[in-house]
Structure 1
Amino acid sequence: MSQLFSLATKRALITGSGRGIGFLMAKGLAEAGAEVIINATQQAGAQSAAEKLRALGHTAHAVAFDVTDSHQIHQAIDDIEAKIGPIDILINNAGIQRRRPFLEFAEQDWNDVIAVNQTAVFLVSQTVARHMAKRQSGKIINIGSMQSELGRDTITPYAASKGAVTMLTRGMCVELARYNIQVNGIAPGYFATEMTQALVDDKAFTEWLTKRTPAARWGNPEELIGAAVFLSSKASDFVNGHLLFVDGGMRVAV
Structure 2
Amino acid sequence: MADETALADFPSLFSLKGKVAVVTGGSRGLGLNAASALLQAGCSKVFITSRKAKACDQAVAQLNRLPNLQPGARAVSVPADSSTLAGVESLVAQVAQHTEHVDILLANAGATWGEAFDTHPASAFRKVMDLNVTGVFLAVQKFAPLLQTRATLDDPSRVIVTASVAGLGIGATGPQATFGYSASKAAAITLARNLAVELGPRHILVNSICPGFFPTKMANGLLEMTGGLEKHAARSPNKRLGRPEDIAGVVVYLASRAGSHVNGATIQIDGGALWKTLTLQDEPVDSKL
**Offset, 1:161:** 0.2
Provide the residue aligned with 2:105 in structure 1.
90
Provide the residue aligned with 1:116 in structure 2.
131
Specify which of 33, 41, 44 is matched with residue 51 of structure 2. 41
Query: 1: CA distance between counterparts of 2:226 and 2:32?
Result: 28
Specify which of 212, 216, 241 is matched with residue 235 of structure 2. 212
The one-letter amino acid paired with 2:56 is: A
Contact 1:13–1:37 under 8 Å retained in 2? yes
Write out aligned runs for 1:56-71 (5 A).
56-57=66-67, 58=69, 59-71=74-86
Deviations 1:138-172 (Å, cap 9, x if unpaired)? 10000000011111311121100000001110000
Mean Cα displacement is larger for which, 222-231 or 192-201? Answer: 192-201
Percent identity reads 31
Q: Greater Rg, structure 1 or structure 2?
A: 2
TM-score of the superposition, structure 2-length normalised?
0.83
Contact 1:91–1:141 under 8 Å retained in 2? yes
The one-letter amino acid paired with 1:199 is: L
The 3 A distance-change label for structure 1 pair 214 and 68 is: same
Query: 1: CA distance between counterparts of 2:252 and 2:141?
Result: 22
Deviations 1:110-132 (Å, cap 9, x if unpaired)? 01110111111011111111332
**Offset, 1:212:** 2.9
Show structure 1 runs of 4+ deviating over 4 A. Answer: 205-208
**Offset, 1:211:** 4.2
The 3 A distance-change label for structure 1 pair 251 and 64 is: same
Query: 2: CA distance between counterparts of 1:16 and 1:203?
Result: 25
The 3 A distance-change label for structure 1 pair 33 and 236 is: same
**Offset, 1:134:** 4.6
Provide the residue aligned with 1:148 in structure 2.
167
Larger helix percent: 1
Provide the residue aligned with 1:19 in structure 2.
28
Provide the residue aligned with 2:282 in structure 1.
none
RMSD between aligned residues: 1.7
Write out aligned runs for 1:227-238 (5 A).
227-238=250-261
**3-state SS in 1 of match to 2:263:** coil
How many corresponding residue pairs? Answer: 254
**3-state SS in 2 of match to 1:196:** helix
**3-state SS in 1 of match to 2:188:** helix
**Offset, 1:196:** 1.7
**Offset, 1:207:** 5.6
Provide the residue aligned with 1:31 in structure 2.
40
The gaps in structure 1 that reach 5 residues or longer are none
Contact 2:159–2:206 under 8 Å retained in 1? yes
